[in-house]
Amino acid sequence: MPESKSPAPDRIECRVGSWFRRRMTILMVLLAALVLYFLYDGVTGYPKKNFNAALFFAFQSGKDGAADLPKPSDFSISGFSKNQQGGLQAAVDAGKAGETWSKFAATRHLAASEPKKFSIDEMNEQKGFAAGLVVILVLVMFFALWQQRKSIACDQSGIDFTNGKHVDFESVKSLDLTKRDRGIAVLKTDSGQSLKVDDYKFEGAGEIIKRLREKKPDLEIISAS
């Protein structure tokens, strides 16, 4: 005796799938990385580069015979540590001894050119970028969580969209499949509405399209040429 096929479920419900979650996760990781990048520059990276500029100042001071150590405030640094003070004195001594900057810089793995000095405004700008990206990251997180609660469904009479609107199969005039390679089908109704069914975002939404075509075999299909 041949096996009978199980009847299709009366209601098909499609929730947000793994593709959408992966995309949101990648976006959040990227935003978090940018936050750390800008925050590092504003808090650590630029002050480190400014210390290199202070070394160059000390070297030039020794070379000119003044032997003055730079002031931390002139380089937007709160203060020099003991190790940094020792490095500055070594730069002064190297300048006095007639060394070239390129030779001294090589001992500290620095570039042979004059180091750039960053202003406090430039440091704050990097911190501002980081703060702005934190806001965007939080908004993306809330958006992702909000979308997780959404679903698209259909029963034997029509489709329930995420906005709560129920569209009867009989009211669907045409089905646009020109973007089906991206998982998107667009339904056009008799009233002129265009409604999207996204099979990438809502896992299994292709079954809803399948049921629509079964219910309306004479449906106008618009496909990519």
Read off the pLDDT of residues 135-147 as tens digits, 9 standing for 90 and up: 999 999 999 999 9
- Residue 104 CB partners (closer than 8 Å, separation 6+): 59, 91, 94, 95
**Class of the CATH domain delimited by 151-222:** mainly beta
| pLDDT value at residue 66 | 83
Rounded Cα distance between 121 and 117, Å, is: 12
Q: For 65-105, how does the pLDDT look when each residue is reduced to its tens digit (9 = 90+)? A: 887 889 999 999 999 999 999 999 999 999 999 999 999 99
pLDDT digits (tens, 9 = 90+) for 41-57: 999 999 999 999 999 99
Distance CA 41, CA 130 (A): 10
Pair of tokens at residue 167? 């569209």
pTM for the predicted model, two decimal places = 0.78
Domain map of the chain by residue range? 19-146, 151-222
